[in-house]
Amino acid sequence: MPIELTNLAALSKAELQRLTARWGWSRYRTAQVWEWLYRRRAVSFESMTNLSVQMRTELAQRACIRWPVAVERRIAADGTRKLLIGLEDGRRIESVLIPDDRRLTLCLSTQVGCTLDCGFCLTGTMGLTRNLKAYEIVGQWVVAQQELDERPEGLPRRLTNLVFMGMGEPLANLPALTDALTRLTDPHGVAFPPRRITVSTAGLAPQIAELGRFQPAVNLAVSLNATDDATRAKIMPLAARYSIEELMAACRAYPLGPRRFITFEYVLLDRVNDSDDDARRLVRLLRGMRAKVNLIPWNPYPGTPFRRPADERIARFQTILLDARVPTYIRKSKGQEILAACGQLHSAEGEKTPQSVQPLHPAWS
């Protein structure tokens, strides 16, 4: 019977240290392996040239490096890239590379499907298949970096921002999320700046407090989308388990460093949550908070009753907030024609990656 190899990509730093300690390795050598995995994104042990030949041979006999793989890419006219990513169990998720002038943002998923059932979100129609593991979350960064290694025309050469706004509710998978954040911000690993990482939630109030204790601190975005509990319960039934009062209390208690804000995301739905009264209630909810608002005109998908408000209504909503000195921005919807915009991610839940489909980056398989 062949020996089952340990996937080093799936291990946290503490787990890797415990494993190599059993092999009699020093912490120094373990740190070198960690750096090869995350700083240099090694896909083979042969490339770890500062380890002895004996150590590399030992690694090859006992372990492997397996990240998720990109199986398909779709490119929009505005340069947005949606990556279909295959997992080891055959499930699939989507991540999105979003260029904007000199910025390049990677939108990451945290679940296969979503535990919530927001009526305006295509991902919510999938239901929840399972949570992603920490290395599957980080693996999306690895896939994106491989895309950039190919130097695609029209994209900046490096990622500037990470946003956890893809498939799933990040705070419903908090242990794996914080493990992934630890790997991504580790100064000896990926070393991604925490100030350029944003975690979005549909409003799981207790978990917001838990995320607030994570160090190094990351940015918080809250999908509010309604200013009264009745409307929120209609369009976000599971998120509405926590009242707006509970949610705002959790946001007010969230620790903010200097020059930090909480971002409130507000999907505008025609004749549902886009009235002048809605805008005024939003102003009252945010009074006294270090907050900014991203207005997101609803991104359509087939088979839904919602409509995008008229441009005049969107502008009027923004004006009311700006007049009350609430920083408010209308988010550009990028990648709509490839269903890559906010609320449009969907990977055909239940379908597995066909064996005949070759990964775009076969060296990772």
Average pLDDT, the chain: 90
Residue 342 is a catalytic residue: yes
Predicted pLDDT of residue 348: 52
Fold topology of 69-338: TIM Barrel (3.20.20)
pLDDT of 365 over the 60 cut: no
pLDDT of 285 over the 80 cut: yes
Are the CB atoms for 136 and 62 separated by under 8 Å?
no
pLDDT of 338 over the 60 cut: no
Q: Name the active-site residue from 88, 150, 342, 351.
A: 342
Using alpha carbons, select from 94, 239, 230, 229 the residue that is nearest to residue 171: 239
Please state, in angstroms and rounded to a whole number, the distance separating the CA atoms of residues 75 and 95: 12
Predicted pLDDT of residue 336: 53
pLDDT tens profile 48-91: 999 999 999 999 999 999 999 999 999 988 889 999 999 999 99
Q: In the chain, which residue ranges form alpha helices assigned H by DSSP?
A: 13-22, 27-38, 53-62, 134-149, 174-185, 205-212, 229-235, 244-253, 276-286, 311-323
Which pLDDT band, with edges at 50, 70 and 90, does 339 fall under? Answer: low
* Mean local confidence (pLDDT), 45-50: 95
**DSSP string computed for 290-312:** -EEEEEEEPPP-TT----PPPHH
Q: pTM to 2 decimals?
A: 0.90
pLDDT of 355 over the 50 cut: no
* Mean local confidence (pLDDT), 162-174: 96
Residue 130 phi/psi, 5-degree rounding, is -170, 165
Q: Is 281 exposed, middle or buried (0-12, 13-18, 19+ CB in 10 A)?
A: middle
The token duo for 118 is 């927001």
Please state, in angstroms and rounded to a whole number, the distance separating the CA atoms of residues 70 and 40: 19
* Mean local confidence (pLDDT), 108-112: 96
Which pLDDT band, with edges at 50, 70 and 90, does 349 fall under? Answer: very low
Residue 94 is a catalytic residue: yes
Q: Name the active-site residue from 4, 46, 94, 121.
A: 94
Fold topology of 6-64: DNA polymerase; domain 1 (1.10.150)
**Spans of all domains in the chain:** 6-64, 69-338
Which pLDDT band, with edges at 50, 70 and 90, does 334 fall under? Answer: low
